[in-house]
Chains A and B, each alone.
Chain A
Amino acid sequence: MLFLAAAGFSQTPPKTASAKPWTPPKTPWGDPDLQGVWPGTDLVGTPLQRDPSLGTRALLTDQEFAQRVERAKKQSDIDSQETVNEVTKCDPTRGGLGNTQTTCSNGVSIGPPLYWDDRGKPNRQASLVVDPPDGRIPPLTPDAQKSAAARASARRARPCAATAGGCHDSWEDESLWDRCITRGLLGSILPSTYNDGNQIVQAPGVVVLRNEMIHETRIIPVSSNGAGRPHPSPAIRSWMGDSRGHWEGNTLVVETTNFNDQTQLNNATVSDAARVVERFTRTDANTLEYRVTIEDPKTWTKPWTVQFPLKRDAEYRLYEYACHEGNYYMYNALTGARAEEKRAQ
């Protein structure tokens, strides 16, 4: 199946995909119709940033692509072992995070089974970051570097940081993701490991974008002409910011500002100065090209852009995501840390 998927991959460079002369259907009120379920699952495993050895090449060569396909096939073979055997068990001599002395005991890894994860389909895209041309996220500003270093140093200074489980003094030690709050705007749509469903629903003047993980939903006011309604006062801040959309031809352009300064992206803080511009373009019946540019002069020295195709999947279902109700992790981690403390006394 992997080989079929690989053979079917479009070799069109991401940057030219939106130039295809294909006209999307319209909604009854005349807007381009982007509605449907568009999972990012196929992109799982495509690196966010490019391997520096690839330079400014946005696409893999035939040989590099063959290697990616081969790696994926090996992984698929291991994932689909019908019985647990020496291949599917962890091994401290093998290397990797799941195979260290602290994560692997008697051949059993403390991590979840391999088949918990989506693996994506191999494609030729060298990295999800397409601009700057080297596919790397630009350096942090000096201020952002300082605050990142201060955060890391404060983390390391806590005695709990040296324990296998890390720090769990309170719920505030858990990530925003673990707390069922958010993964941030970009984090909610970047392909990652599982629950990569995205759904678009439209009504006159409104586009609704729903991301499966943590059931994040943005209700975006969209104007048919011009730049749309202005953002609210800068005093109003939120996790996902304030999104306003307009149409440029058949492309939905969504500009988001008014972020709070508490979400993280690639280990850096998305500041209150961030402006995110997303472009959604249907390039054929089953492809929605997604392009997003992050400008955050307080955090990154230059804007940077991510682009990838989302594929329509009518079979994909987004299931109820009562995140807090199902989140046994919070209880297990906090009570586990208290039990550890008692044992240490």
Chain B
Amino acid sequence: MRVVVLAVAIFLLTVPAWAHHAFAAEFDLKKPVKLEGTVTKMEWINPHAWIHIDVKGPDGKITSWMVEGGTPNILLRRGFTKQSLEKGTLVIVEGYQAKNGENRANGSNITFADGKRLFLGGSNPNEQPQ
């Protein structure tokens, strides 16, 4: 993947440097998803963090999803903390479902309910001051 990463480095602004691996191998562009769910668990693991959320369907049925995140080092250096995504936090994920049909998705856009981006604000707007 290194060749891809280096090649991408010279591309235009807003182009993500496709880090580490091929997203098109994992996720299906024909299966866009928009998920509104509450956080059940955050896995702080290398090479990528994963956010687990419960999504309530129109019929009230709950399905559990996993959403891929960045590497813990960058998330933490960008001000994200263990308290930023407590259980029960509502997040909205726009992305694509895994090609294998499982409830896994990349999170191209992950926001809190008020539209603020998850890993940039570094704090949950609904979080109660400690």
Q: Which residues of A contact B (CB under 8 A)?
A: 45, 47-48, 71, 74-75, 78-84, 87-90, 94-99, 102-103, 105-106, 108-118, 164-166, 168, 174-175, 177-178, 183, 187, 192-195, 197, 212-213, 264, 266-267, 317-323, 325-329, 332-333, 335-340
CB pair A266 B14 closer than 8 Å: no
Contacts of A333 in B (CB 8 A): 21-22, 25-26
A111-B23, A319-B72 given; 4 more Cβ-contact pairs under 8 Å: A99-B15, A112-B19, A177-B2, A194-B71
Q: How large is the interface on B (under 10, 10 to 19, 20 to 34, 35 or more residues)?
A: 35 or more
Residue from the set B68, B76, B96, B109 with the largest chain A CB neighbour count within 10 Å: B109
Contacts of B116 in A (CB 8 A): 82-83
Give 16 A-B contacts (CB < 8 Å), ordered by A residue: A47-B10, A97-B11, A102-B29, A116-B71, A192-B6, A266-B3, A266-B6, A318-B73, A321-B46, A322-B46, A325-B45, A326-B46, A329-B26, A333-B26, A336-B99, A339-B101
Min CB gap B124→A, angstroms: 14
From the candidates B27, B45, B73, B115, name the one contacting A83 in the complex (CB within 8 A). B115
CB pair B46 A319 closer than 8 Å: yes
CB pair B1 A337 closer than 8 Å: no
Does chain A have a CB within 8 A of B78?
Answer: yes
Residue from the set B28, B94, B100, B111 with the largest chain A CB neighbour count within 10 Å: B100
Question: B14 — nearest CB in chain A belongs to which residue?
Answer: A78
Min CB gap A36→B, angstroms: 17
Does chain A have a CB within 8 A of B95?
Answer: yes
Min CB gap A326→B, angstroms: 4
Contacts of B24 in A (CB 8 A): 102-103, 110, 164-166
Residue from the set B20, B72, B106 with the largest chain A CB neighbour count within 10 Å: B20
How far, in angstroms, from A317 to B45 measured CA to CA in the complex? Answer: 14
CB pair A195 B46 closer than 8 Å: yes
How far, in angstroms, from A105 to B70 measured CA to CA in the complex? Answer: 21
A-B contact count (CB 8 A): 228
Contacts of B3 in A (CB 8 A): 266-267
CB pair B1 A178 closer than 8 Å: yes
Does chain A have a CB within 8 A of B41?
Answer: no
Question: B102 — nearest CB in chain A belongs to which residue?
Answer: A335
Contact with A along B96-116 (1 / 0, CB 8 A): 101111101011111100011
How far, in angstroms, from A115 to B49 measured CA to CA in the complex? Answer: 13
Contacts of B10 in A (CB 8 A): 47
How far, in angstroms, from A262 to B34 measured CA to CA in the complex? Answer: 41
CB pair B46 A336 closer than 8 Å: no
Contacts of B14 in A (CB 8 A): 75, 78, 87-88, 90, 94, 96, 98-99, 114
CB pair A192 B16 closer than 8 Å: no
Contacts of B15 in A (CB 8 A): 96-99
